[in-house]
Amino acid sequence: MMTRIKSIKSTIAFVICSIAIVNNIQTTNACTNYLITPGATTDGSAFISYAADSGSLYGTLGFYPAGDHPSTARRECYDWDSGNYLGSIPEAAHTYNVVGNVNEHQLTITETTFGGLGQFSSQKGAIIDYGSLIWITLQRAKTAQEAITVMDELMQKYGYASDGESFSIGDPNEVWIMEVMSKGEGELGSVWVAQKIPDGYVSGHANQARIRTFIQNDPSTSRFAHDVIDFARKKNLYNGTDAEFSFSDTYDPVSFVSARMCEARVWNMFRQVAAESDFENEYLDYVKGENLTNRMPLYIKPKEKISLNDTFWFMRGHYENTYFDMSVDVGAGPFQSIYRVSIVSIYLFSYIHLIISNTNIIYIYIYTTTGKTVDMER
């Protein structure tokens, strides 16, 4: 009898613990981006893959035709997630064709939400949310670096109405990561940093800010808001030197959950392509959430060129033959299935890690350049 009571108590404790974990991570997203520069691909194209985690938006594909607009024209802005009207801004004199997350100049912008510090999660009067930021920029910019300039101008002038975001920004020649954090209440705008991925290298992000320290005197490789460090000091978030400032550690400190559920998705691609033979084991303690100081690099050099088909398989990954292998954990059941019925079952029965292609994904696409002009109206 005593054994049965102990067993029941253990079961109840497991359920309570599981519910607590789900409550703690219920807002965690599952967007994933992999960034592969032209010098790292088999055909010399840039690849950016994007899994968008927002099941309520299933089936959406935006189209914005090119146009010439009068000086009085306004561009209305709606929150991408809720559909709420945020306001309007002056329209550009000319806008480019945009389908989905790419425009006629083969500029693409995708995202993953990292959230960041909760004290900056709202900004009264802000008109630009992260969705508006993507599509307005695609209508107005031709290159990745021009896109960064446009995004900064939009946020500082009209405010930023979203949580922390990592953006992948790519054109036929360059691939960048830009990470953005709202300034919160009392001041319109955002702080941000953008890092170019060196040609021949690969990167990724998955709902955890990844840019740490960055070069501060070479805008061809690193760009940032002029007050990204001073703002942190003003808010008592940082008191070190400029050179030691880390965007990720300041505005989105890594946690057990973000290492295990978010960074593990980046690790799963990195381990397959890394030139270092022991990359998988070197950072396993980090993505298990056991050693949060053992951060992975922002980008790595692959051991060989990566094809478009390889990228498809990265996005289909289920941690096969790793510590997180979903075919052998308790959630797999008697038939060693890598699939789960719902997000909750992934949280409870896969030891708190998350796959890329889960049931809440609205779409997955892989952007690839061609180097040729694209007629998007055909």
Q: Tell me what pLDDT residue 25 has.
A: 44
Q: Which residue has the higher pLDDT, 5 or 100?
A: 100
Boundaries of every domain in the chain:
28-317+356-368
Q: What is the DSSP string of 147-200?
A: HHHHHHHHHHHH-B-S-EEEEEEE-SS-EEEEEEEE--TTS-SEEEEEEEPPTT
Global pTM exceeds 0.75 = yes
pLDDT-derived band of residue 376, with 50, 70 and 90 as boundaries?
low
Question: Rounded distance, CA 37 to CA 173, Å?
Answer: 8
How confident is the model over 310-367, as pLDDT tens digits? 999 999 988 999 999 888 877 776 788 887 766 554 544 444 567 777 767 777 889 9
The secondary structure of residue 302, as a DSSP letter, is B
Q: Tell me what pLDDT residue 352 has.
A: 56
Q: Tell me what pLDDT residue 26 has.
A: 43
How confident is the model over 121-154, as pLDDT tens digits? 999 999 999 999 999 999 999 999 999 999 999 9
How confident is the model over 218-273, as pLDDT tens digits? 999 999 999 999 999 999 999 999 999 999 999 999 999 999 989 999 999 999 99
According to CATH, what is the number of the domain 28-317+356-368?
3.60.60
Q: Tell me what pLDDT residue 353 has.
A: 64
pLDDT exceeding 70 applies to what percent of the chain?
84
Question: Rounded distance, CA 200 to CA 223, Å?
Answer: 20
Residue with tokens 């992999």: 34
Q: Find the angle CA(146)-CA(147)-CA(151) to the nearest 5 degrees.
A: 120
Q: Nearest CA to 78 among 135, 122, 21?
A: 135
How confident is the model over 30-63, as pLDDT tens digits? 799 999 999 999 999 999 999 887 766 666 788 9
Coil, helix or strand at residue 179: strand
pLDDT(4) > 60: no
pLDDT(2) > 50: no
Question: Rounded distance, CA 150 to CA 143, Å?
Answer: 10
Average pLDDT, the chain: 88
